[in-house]
Each structure stands twice: as structure tokens, then as C-alpha cells.
Chains A and B, each alone.
Chain A
Amino acid sequence: MIDISFSFNLLTDLQTMWQYDFMQHAFEAGTIVAIIAGIVGYFVVLRRSSFAAHALSHVGFAGAAGAVLFGVDPIIGLLLFTSGGGITIALLGRRAAARDVQIGTVLAFMLGLGVLFISLYSGYATEAYSILFGEILGISANDVIVTFVASLIILILTAIVYRPLLFASIDEDVAEAKGLPTLFLGVVFMLLVAVATSISVQVVGVLLIFALMVTPAAIAQRLAKRPVHGIMISIIIALFATWIGLFVSFYEPYPVSFFITSIVFMLYVLTLIFQRVNTWLSARRMHFYKHED
């Protein structure tokens, strides 16, 4: 690799980076994925379906590995398997999404199936590696277009179901009594997760999907009392982690997904500490007020 060093002038740094097609594609796809993961992730956390979403990405692993084996683009396998898995989980009902043992069993089986497909495939082991942990620096211009189109579909669909999905996620019984098709909304939600997972896998891989789809949204829900603010915070965190991760990885020889997961993890821990200190301080303040009376 050419020797490039960090110059403390962000503008020239970015200009240098974007001279390389692979960095440009990485930034484009990373940005799109971060926005989508931030939005869909908010609903994942709100509906307490993070384990189901995690499992869905493993179903996607089997799909991607199968696609590689049969010489098809992995994203096709990902989309097919995650959508199928998502619809199945949704049709089993809301409560099924919280059944961790059953979901975990399917998750393990799908991972096993993926391993079989990978071992049958006589090509490089790097294929498996990139599906599992992401390969954002290997994204082609074509991948960016696919990612963009998929995101557009997710955005439009989310805008259409936004209020009913929010209602069904927070207060399912009343939403149902008000005539909302809660089962259908569950299916739409799982399809959103499936497509979002499929495009996120390029960035962080199936094993680290939590870092983009769950952690930023979990932080957002701790900080925001309104869904709109929550979604915005979730997007900002996912974007921040992705951009910094890409930026740093340009200078350091370590994987991008490591940086992304580390950043969101640190933010999560910082949020927890901040909130604890805050509660402690306000408790103390209350204590003092009481004694002043």
C-alpha cells in the first residue's frame, strides 16, 4: 500500500481518501447503511426484537454462503433468506419474537448450514470472513447502487407505516382494537429488518449487525423521549461510528468493523455512566432541597 499519513487537515485527508474508488464506495454505502440501520434499529429496540433481528442476520449468513456456493451474488441470498426468515417470525406472532430458545436454535442451525455451504465452496475462505465480519472496503459501484435502491424502498415503506407501526409497537392491544392490522404490520416490520440487515452485512457482517442495528438505537432510546428525536440520534450515532471507523481504518491496518463496534460500544458505556451520574446528582439535589425546608 502507498504510504499515506494523517495530516490534521481533515479536508485534505478526505480528499486524499476519496481519490480511491474503494474508499469512495465505502463512504457512500456506509452512509446509506448507517441511516437505514439507525431508523430500522429504532423500531427493533422499541419492539424488543433485537434478538430476532440478530438471528435474522444469521439466517442471512446461510443465504449468502449458499449464494456464493451457487455462484450468485451474496446479496441475493441474503435478501431471500432474511426475508423468508423475517416473514416466518412475524407470522408466528409478536410473542414469538421474544422466544429466545427457539430463535437461538434456528440461529445456530443456520450458522451451521452456512459453514457447510462455505466448506463446499472450493474458493477462498475470505468469502466467509467477509460475510461474517463485513468487507466495506470491497464494495463495488454496483453494490452501492443496489444498497441505494434497497434503502429507498425501506425509506418509503417506513414513511407509509410509520405511525401505525409505532402505535402497534408501543400499545399493540389498543392498536388492534382501533382496527390496525397488527399481524400485517409485524410482517412489514420484519421485512424492513430483513432488507436493512442484508445491506448492513456489507459493512459490519452478520456477526456484528448489533453494532449498527441495535446499539445506536438503544442509546437513542435512553436519551430521547420522542420517537422522532430517538430516530435522529440513532442515525447520528450510526453515521458517526461508520465515518470515524472508515476514516481511522484508512490509516490503521485494522478492520473497519472493529472500529465501528468499538465506537458504538464506548458511546453505550458513556451513556450508561452519564445517566447513572445524572440520577445520582438529581437524587442528591432532592436530598438537599428537602433539608433546606
Chain B
Amino acid sequence: MTKNFPPIITAENLTVGYQENIVWQDANFTIEHGEFVAIIGPNGSGKTTLFRLLLGLQQPLQGTIKVFDAWPKRGNQHIGYIPQRHVIDEETNLESLELVRLGFSGNKWGLNPFSNDDRNAAYDALKSVGAEELTRRSLGRLSGGELQRVFLAEALVSEPHLLLLDEPLSNLDIRREQELVQVIHNVVRSRNVTALLIAHNINPLLPVLDKVIYIANGKVAIGKPDEVLTSEALSALYGIQVEVLRGSQGQIAVIGTEENQHHYP
């Protein structure tokens, strides 16, 4: 499926940061159409910064980045986005459908009281992530996993080609984590969209991933999970001796990367 399309994302000699403070530099990578990519790395290493770049909310310091063969611009309708969120106000009584609906028509000015398109699209989006029973539920009463499904529906409702998911798996227990990974995986395959997912723990994602982007120590590494998640590759990335251990079912543990050891250039 990757042969017929140009790359979705291309980065060349990309350096990002805030004025004097470089977050990471000299990144080169391409993401192909339909790939499921995990972005891993310690807190503050600049994972969300990559999303901000792709969304056109931030400009790189150097180098080029292209999305759909063009410079990123804010409000790109082909991108669906789930920001990193901690909680939704428990008092929020609005039903899920209303939020998803805004993902479809929330950027349109004026009123259109006679159209039901957005309601139908919102319902279909909820259904496609297996959340149709949440349609009438209050957002404030949803569990973490339910909320992430609704956010996913909100991101999908405008039928994007690229999904940017910022830590959708945090605060979920193992079972919910696996369920959500499966839902995202199904969406990526059935809709043939490209997905970038920021995560803390790569293990629940390993069975479904195409590529891993590992950001640490001001550098970016990319490749197939087996190429990136090795002792050699991660040691080179961090610049210190790092060990990657494998469990009996292929699970991964990275040793020697305590976050307080990081030195940024």
C-alpha cells in the first residue's frame, strides 16, 4: 500500500526548539501512507513538539518538514488530532455526540439549523470506534477509556488522512489500553489512514506498529521496532550505555535511561 502514494511526512535536517533552547536537532525521517507509528521518549524530550510542528502551531528553527507534500499549516482539515489531556471537568454534562459533532462542523461560521449531516457523521464516527452506546452519555461521567474513544471519534469525524494522538493510552489500565490499541489499529487499517501515537510504554503497541520514532537526548531515531529498540541503537541515541531487555513474549524494558541523567546540548 505504500508504493502508490508519496510519503505523508518528510523531515530533513529538522531542528526544533524555542529560541536559544534546542529541543532536538538534525532529524531526518519519512512516514509513509498508512503507517502506524509510535513516538516514544522521556518526558520533555519534544514528542508533543513534533505534533505542534505538524499542526502548524510552531515553526522549526532549521530544516524542512512537509505534510502531504506541503509546509504544515494551521487548520489542516486532513489531520485529526487528540491533544494530551488530563481530565475533563466532571461537571460537564454535555453528551458525547455534541463534542464529536463539533469535530465535524465546529469550524463553520454561522448557523445551519436545518442540516443533520453533522449529527449523522458524529454518530457514524462513534460507531466506528465501537462507542455508539456512549452517544447520549455525559462527557463528565465517562471513564478514561471511554473518553479516549470519544476523542478518537472527534478526531475521525472529519475523515482525516493523518491522525496525531498525544498519549491516548496514559491513565488506562492494561485491559483498556489493549482495547484502545485494537480500536486505533482497526481504524488505521480499515480507513487506510496514517497514525502517529505518542506513548510512554511501547509494549501494548508492539504487535501493531510499523515504525517507532524514539526521541531522547536531543536526537531522533526512526525505524522498525526491531531496529530502533536495541541496546546498540538506544545507546547511540542517548550517548550512554543503555540496555534493552526482551521478555518471553517480546515485551521490552529499557534500562539505564533515568530521566534525570539527560543532558541537552
Contact = CB atoms under 8 A, between A and B. Distances in A.
Interface of A: 48, 159-164, 166-167, 170-171, 173-180, 221-227
Main secondary structure of the interface of B (DSSP, over half): loop
B136 interface: yes
Interface in B76-124: 76-77, 79, 81-83, 85, 89, 91-95, 98-99, 102-103, 105-111
B74 interface: yes
Contacts of A224: 93
A94 to B, nearest CB: 14
B35 interface: no
A179 B74 contact: yes
Interface string B61-86: 00000000000001111010111010
Interface of B: 55, 57, 74-77, 79, 81-83, 85, 89, 91-95, 98-99, 102-103, 105-111, 136, 138, 154-155
30 contacts: A160-B109, A163-B105, A163-B106, A163-B110, A163-B111, A164-B107, A164-B108, A164-B109, A167-B102, A170-B94, A170-B99, A173-B81, A173-B83, A173-B85, A174-B82, A174-B103, A174-B155, A177-B74, A177-B75, A177-B79, A177-B81, A178-B77, A178-B107, A179-B107, A180-B75, A225-B93, A225-B95, A225-B136, A225-B138, A226-B95
Contacts of A174: 81-83, 103, 154-155
B94 A177 contact: no
Main secondary structure of the interface of A (DSSP, over half): helix
Contacts, number: 83
A73 B154 CA distance: 48
A166 B102 contact: yes
B55 A171 contact: no
A40 to B, nearest CB: 16
Contact of B106 (A159, A160, A167, A221): A167
A159 B95 contact: no
Contacts of B74: 176-177, 179
B94 A226 contact: yes
Contacts of A227: 94, 98
B39 to A, nearest CB: 17
Contacts of A225: 93-95, 98, 136, 138
